Structure 1
Amino acid sequence: MSTYPAPGQPLRRPPEIEAIPFGDSALMLKLATADAREREAGSRRLREILLDVRPHGLTDVVAGVDSLLVEFDCLTVSHGQLAQLISLAVAGSGLEPGGQERATELFIIPMVVSAAYSPDLPDVAEELGISPEAVLRIMEDSELSINLLASAMAPMMGTVRFPAQVSRCKEPRTNVASGSVMVAGTSAIIQPFPGPTGWKVIGRTPLTVCDIREEPATSYRPADRVRFQIIPASDWQRLEGQFLRPAAGIAPDSARTGKAG
């Protein structure tokens, strides 16, 4: 398929992409821009392009917050050859900042706060120098963007409007319940399945965020938006186990009055 512009149209200048060798069979890719939002958006778009084009030798693409680790078969392609193939793919697909991205979805995620579900909330509040209630207000007031899908399809989100960075646990927990809402730095993440973590647990959602019986197993994707909503424990039974779906028709400014599930 030709990628030449129509007569009279200016040639698009593809953004600079840093391609750093990462061992014998991988490249670390990052947009060469100081703007964090441009790097994050560009990284998401670059991932879509690579998974669609599948350059010769490519074996896997691992997403980071604002970078990609691209793994390849070093017996069929070199670092330099793959970097050139990626540049050609980008030139023909439009990765420049401000390029058209897919429409994002908004998710309203209910969260129950209690001594059992929020073991690290007092520590987070003390570390930030604010009250636990203020921590929760910040969580509700922050509209987060899903930066990437981490281990087990966990949605990793930023940026929570905390006044400072939140440290991780000194001793990671060996088993945290599914649905646990956790924070570290100025990011948040939800535990899809029981497992270990070093993030600090400040609440739990009764919804199921990842279900292998669904197609696809998650209804969210990178760049989708998230608002948390504190709900009373009495609502847990009504919502427990429902699959997380977008909050259709709810504008960001009215998110706190929306309904989840």
Structure 2
Amino acid sequence: MTTHTAPAERLHHPPELEAEPFGDSALMLRVKNDDGDLRRAAASRLRDVLLEVRPYGVVNIVAGVESLLVEFDCLAVTHEQLAQTIRLAVAGNGLDSGAPSASQSLFVIPMVVSEEFSPDLPGVAEELGLSPEAVLQEFQSSVLTINLLAAAMAPMMGGVRFPDQVSRCVEPRTNVEPGSVMVAGTNAIIQPFPGPSGWKVIGRTPFTICDIRKDPATSYKPGDLVRFEVVPEREWPRLEGQFLRASDDAGSDGPEGGERDLP
């Protein structure tokens, strides 16, 4: 089985930062390193640093899996000036994630596993050489990081502790139900709304993770942490439709989501 080393343990000496002009008013930032886990962890920490420092001229920060797109006012600052400011901020703050930042939230998400909700679980287990129970154990023991918000604000998460990569479906499904918890590679994602997907479905959460009637429509953001917890199918009616909240916000809006609702 693969030995996992926490990326934070390898970030005490900040890796080299690549800042590439992206049009007239944006920089694409990447950490130069051969270690994919380190690149992802460093990109997440870099986002926190920039949100804290708020360099002059920056108007927006868009998170990618291993990169950041920093949009800025080109009348206020140049590519070179902003890149230098960011490098100074990194030198002063480092990219060692250490303890969770004040802006980082933890979400504990219940997941129901059944023949209907987990059609790909047996195949994933066979692919990994594990039992379905062992797959779920590894999945529940993983603390995932939201790397970016994909289409329809779906949280794309990295850090699943599988012993190997999980392949995508040979034939993508044309319609996947909302709340479906899916895996591919060592990543996971939740389907916010009905739609097509080639990721493999191993469970479903009864929570509503995105509600366009709310402002904001989601309670999570890139950099937040997620842990899944398998709950009995009988819990579905009690939890169905509750809006996902961070665990430390549980109960702040009455009966909606969070750790308090888990059995």
Q: Same fold (TM over 0.5)?
A: yes
- 1:185 deviates by 0.5
Residue by residue, what CA displacement relative to the aligned partner does 1:6-57 show, whole Å, maximum 9, x if unpaired? xxxxxxx98642123567876431123456555334423544566784765x
- Show the counterpart of 2:96: 98
Identity across aligned pairs (percent)? Answer: 59
Q: For 1:215, what is the secondary structure of its paired residue?
A: coil
- Show the counterpart of 1:113: 113
Runs of 4 or more off by more than 6 Å in structure 1? 75-78
Identify if the C-alpha distance between structure 1 residues 21 and 159 changes in structure 2 by more than 3 Å, giving closer, same or farther: same
Identify if the C-alpha distance between structure 1 residues 142 and 89 changes in structure 2 by more than 3 Å, giving closer, same or farther: closer
CA contact (8 A) 2:45 2:95 kept: no
Separation (CA, whole Å) in 2 of partners of 1:95 and 1:30 = 17
- 1:136 deviates by 1.1
- Show the counterpart of 2:229: 229
The amino acid that maps onto 1:238 is R
Correspondence 1:88 to 2:94: no
The structure with the larger Rg is 1
Identify if the C-alpha distance between structure 1 residues 215 and 71 changes in structure 2 by more than 3 Å, giving closer, same or farther: closer
Separation (CA, whole Å) in 1 of partners of 2:123 and 2:192 = 23
Q: For 1:248, what is the secondary structure of its paired residue?
A: helix
Residue by residue, what CA displacement relative to the aligned partner does 1:53-104 show, whole Å, maximum 9, x if unpaired? 4765x7764321221234679x9799xx414323224525744223786233
- Show the counterpart of 2:245: 245
More deviation in 183-192 or 144-153? 144-153
Stretches of structure 1 lacking an aligned partner (at least 5 in a row): 1-12, 251-256
Identify if the C-alpha distance between structure 1 residues 175 and 49 changes in structure 2 by more than 3 Å, giving closer, same or farther: same
After the TM superposition, which residues 201-216 of structure 1 pair with which residues of structure 2 at under 5 Å, given as runs? 201-216=201-216
Q: For 1:213, what is the secondary structure of its paired residue?
A: coil
After the TM superposition, which residues 77-226 of structure 1 pair with which residues of structure 2 at under 5 Å, given as runs? 81-92=78-89, 94-98=92-96, 102-103=101-102, 104-226=104-226
- 1:239 deviates by 0.5
- 1:260 deviates by 3.7
Identify if the C-alpha distance between structure 1 residues 193 and 95 changes in structure 2 by more than 3 Å, giving closer, same or farther: farther
What's the TM-score once normalised by structure 1's chain length? 0.76
CA contact (8 A) 1:15 1:95 kept: no
After the TM superposition, which residues 34-113 of structure 1 pair with which residues of structure 2 at under 5 Å, given as runs? 36=36, 39-47=39-47, 53=54, 61-70=61-70, 81-92=78-89, 94-98=92-96, 102-103=101-102, 104-113=104-113
Identify if the C-alpha distance between structure 1 residues 195 and 88 changes in structure 2 by more than 3 Å, giving closer, same or farther: same
